[in-house]
Structure 1
Amino acid sequence: MFGAKERTLSPFRAERILFHEDGLLVVDKPFGVVVHGGREGSGESLVERLSALLRASTSAREPYLGVHSRLDVGTSGALLFTTEPARNEAVRVGLEHKTLRRVYVALVAPVPGATLHASGQVKLLLRFARDKAEVCSSAPGKLAITRYRVLERTSKLALVELELETGRTHQIRATLAHLGAPIVGDELYGGPRAPRIFLHASSLSGAPLPRAVEAPLPRVFLEYFEHERVAFPSERGELEARIADAITLRAPLAGQLDTLRWICGERDLLPGLVVDQIGGIPWVNFEPGPPPGALGAILAENGLSSEVVDSAGSEKIGAEGPLRFSYTPGKRPPLDPEARHMRAELRERAPRSVLSLGCGPALLGVAAALRATEGTHVDARASFLGSFREAAELSSVTGQRFFREEPLRYVDKALRRGERYEAVLVDASQKGGLRLGPKPEDFLSACLALLRGRGLCAIWLGSGHRPRTSFMQTVAELARDRGAEKVRRISLPFEWNEPETVGFLLSFPIISSS
């Protein structure tokens, strides 16, 4: 089972410590980890992870960790810290007097007309506004100086080495976009979509460091440069490294949650491989076919039991908080980990009457009905209704009705019958089976009309269903017209490593005019 070896889960891989001498610490930061900030007390930031590692290796209860610079969450590579306050001044001087050299490598996708030459120096005035660096012609822009040289080119991509003379927020990303060569994966600055931002801090050298410290270029850079895609690792060493990074990224969640995703396929540079913990249940899916023979051993080495690949076993009962469901080891449980945040919010709201339309594996209706006196669940698929009914019974949820019918048709009948609910849940995800049709505003408007008094309407889209701006505007307009107090977007959980752009859940309490 997952969690059997939680004690071995480390918040940071020791292999990523590049240098630690005389009060100076250089680490190879993995992409996907925020340097500082994040959710307070969650342990997910690099500062919290390194502090935990230092506590475990020293006698100090609160070891010192000085932060002097940062890398964006999507950027990997060499990053310098101090572990003794007396070294802060030397680092400050090194940065201010430019004796500390910072070199990066980026994989870029030049557009027609790009001004990316073989080498050059770029001077820009940058100002940071609305989470993005903008080029400006005068104050309040700050001078940003970047030197670069092209290492290799193809007809579509280029590997570029860059050195910073200044250290502005998003300096490299904005500079390359200005040259017409945005970084692959950097959608904010016009780069093509990819599993990660292909920017890596490759080396630090010069005072106060006694010698150059290099962070090896991740193999995926050359892989993508040559093939324009991320492939599943064929070499065991690379497979071990990518799995270790994925599990370490989520290590702070171990013991806190009973439903989470340990490995997220291509987002972890492991296309086709998904490893979930669902209600404490191990589950693995490898789309190309049977899991690699070494997978169980590699997972066990990283603190997860090799039982994760066991496909045999009798039916068991799993749990996520008060929610219960049955499962067979080796088969996917009827609970989608993507919807964890939404289920938690619905449990907290605790509506007394619930209508769920589309009974997909998000199990939103059961989560919302845990303390409801009545619930109605509608889906055209008998198997999904059966899973819903079973989960409701196992969770001791009573007063529920189940209808095998197209949800759109049921809504029309419910309006004519004068039915009203405190919560209407719409599962429009790819797994949910409910399709909103060419005019989603008509169906959503009908759903809002079913709300009673102070109501709640939740729309679950799930990952792989990136709504167009027009859809978001439709929801906002409907909410405003119905007197909504709040419109909230809920992103995927932290472990998906893409909290802002993949998967949306719209939840808003409504004051019904009915």
Structure 2
Amino acid sequence: MEFKIIKKDTKPQSLRNFLTAKKMSGRLQTKIRRGLVEVYWGQEKLTLTSKLKDAGELRLITLEPEASQAITASTGEIKVVYEDSNYLVADKPAGLASVPGPSETSDTLANRIKGYLLAQGLNDVAVHVLTRLDYNTSGLVLVAKNSLAQGWISAYQDQMIKEYRALVSGHLAQASGRLDFPLQKDSDSFRQIVTAAGKKALTDYWLLESYPKCQLVKIILQTGRTHQIRAHFAHLGHPLVGDELYGGPRAQELGRQLLHAHKLSFYDPFSGQLRSLTSSLPEIFAQACQS
């Protein structure tokens, strides 16, 4: 498998220092030293001590096959909003699991992406779901197509921004704020509960629109705990509309919590660019606001 890395500056430096500055793991550098990964600048094969003097393009060729995954392919429909040789962003509908689990092993977003990639003739790729969403949450999901892309982007988690839209019940006391409530799994259910013994969880929100019985809010996660948004607003006394697990109103009527992963921004370490994608709100949000 071949990877391309862009060097934007003209600063002279060794390949080792360049990769270190790009937050490339020491594990990969060890593979380069052992000959399991070859690096080329044009036609010149490099070592870790080779000097890079100009801007240009590096080619990394891994001689190891991508580790096989026990994910079966599904022909179910997916909506791809961005794709390159390393990453893919899909727009997940509500009612679809992100990855296989005990209740569904053959038709999840991961299964469908596997089928999508195989249909393109891409056999030596994997499906690493990086930003999972709950079964009944819709919106953008980031996927890495190989283990290098998966591991490298983890070094840039501080540059990943996940922005959501949610319809919360009632009217919030403040138009914006930060919810700082530690979360822990409830021993008696699938819920997350606020407790001093829980893990730190930070949620920032801003009011966008008000309606007679609910409000549309913009949310940016500062941490990524399970059910974080749902549990935080339920703790405030404003559970998400349609959220049966956390006591939200109109759950049986709507069949899903009204939470949508609206925008996703992430740093692409291969190109050195910041990618930013958006997904429109599903029609069910507007219908719920009007009724």
Query: Structure 2 counterpart of 1:12, which letter?
Result: E
* Distance 1:42-1:85 versus aligned 2 partners, 3 A rule: closer
Higher strand share: 2
Correspondence for 2:217:
160
Correspondence for 1:11:
76
Deviations along 1:4-37, one digit per CA (max 9) or x if unpaired, are xxxxx94123xx1011014011110110001112
Picking from 193, 196, 209, the partner of 1:134 is 193
Secondary structure of residue in 2 paired with 1:212: strand
Aligned-pair CA distance for 1:154:
1.3
* Count of aligned pairs between the two proteins: 209
* Distance 1:25-1:186 versus aligned 2 partners, 3 A rule: same
Correspondence for 1:28:
91
* Distance 1:48-1:206 versus aligned 2 partners, 3 A rule: closer
Query: Structure 1 counterpart of 2:192, which letter?
Result: A
Please give the alpha-carbon distance, in whole angstroms, between the structure 1 residues aligned to 2:261 and 2:236. 20
* Distance 1:128-1:41 versus aligned 2 partners, 3 A rule: closer
Correspondence for 1:146:
203
Query: Structure 1 counterpart of 2:76, which letter?
Result: P
Aligned-pair CA distance for 1:210:
3.0
Q: Is residue 85 of structure 1 aligned with residue 117 of structure 2?
A: no
Aligned-pair CA distance for 1:101:
0.2
Superposed, which structure 2 residues align to 1:194-343 within 5 Å? 194-208=254-268, 210-226=274-290, 228=291
Correspondence for 1:185:
242
Correspondence for 2:177:
120
Larger radius of gyration: 1
Correspondence for 1:309:
none
* Distance 1:59-1:24 versus aligned 2 partners, 3 A rule: closer
Correspondence for 1:67:
129
Deviations along 1:289-340, one digit per CA (max 9) or x if unpaired, are xxxxxxxxxxxxxxxxxxxxxxxxxxxxxxxxxxxxxxxxxxxxxxxxxxxx
Aligned-pair CA distance for 1:115:
4.6
What TM-score, normalized by structure 1, do the two folds share? 0.39
- Aligned partners of 2:75 and 2:115 also within 8 Å: no
Please give the alpha-carbon distance, in whole angstroms, between the structure 1 residues aligned to 2:266 and 2:105. 35
What TM-score, normalized by structure 2, do the two folds share? 0.67
Secondary structure of residue in 2 paired with 1:48: helix
Superposed, which structure 2 residues align to 1:418-429 within 5 Å? none
Q: Is residue 106 of structure 1 aligned with residue 169 of structure 2?
A: no
Secondary structure of residue in 2 paired with 1:211: strand
* Distance 1:158-1:44 versus aligned 2 partners, 3 A rule: same
Deviations along 1:207-237, one digit per CA (max 9) or x if unpaired, are 13632111111122112112x2xxxxxxxxx
- Aligned partners of 1:68 and 1:91 also within 8 Å: no
Higher relative contact order (CA 8 A, sep 6+): 2
Identity of aligned residues (%): 35
Correspondence for 1:47:
110
Aligned-pair CA distance for 1:93:
1.9
- Aligned partners of 2:239 and 2:248 also within 8 Å: yes
Deviations along 1:337-358, one digit per CA (max 9) or x if unpaired, are xxxxxxxxxxxxxxxxxxxxxx
Secondary structure of residue in 1 paired with 2:126: coil
* Distance 1:187-1:59 versus aligned 2 partners, 3 A rule: closer
Please give the alpha-carbon distance, in whole angstroms, between the structure 1 residues aligned to 2:224 and 2:177. 18
Aligned-pair CA distance for 1:68:
2.1
* Distance 1:123-1:56 versus aligned 2 partners, 3 A rule: same
* Distance 1:56-1:162 versus aligned 2 partners, 3 A rule: same
Please give the alpha-carbon distance, in whole angstroms, between the structure 2 residues aligned to 1:43 and 1:120. 40
TM-align CA RMSD: 1.9
Aligned-pair CA distance for 1:39:
5.3
Secondary structure of residue in 2 paired with 1:183: coil
- Aligned partners of 2:205 and 2:218 also within 8 Å: yes
> Which ranges in structure 1 are unaligned for 5 or more consecutive residues?
1-8, 229-514
Query: Structure 2 counterpart of 1:54, which letter?
Result: L
Deviations along 1:30-75, one digit per CA (max 9) or x if unpaired, are 1000111245885211111110111111241x53111223100000
Correspondence for 1:419:
none
Query: Structure 2 counterpart of 1:93, which letter?
Result: A
Query: Structure 1 counterpart of 2:260, which letter?
Result: H
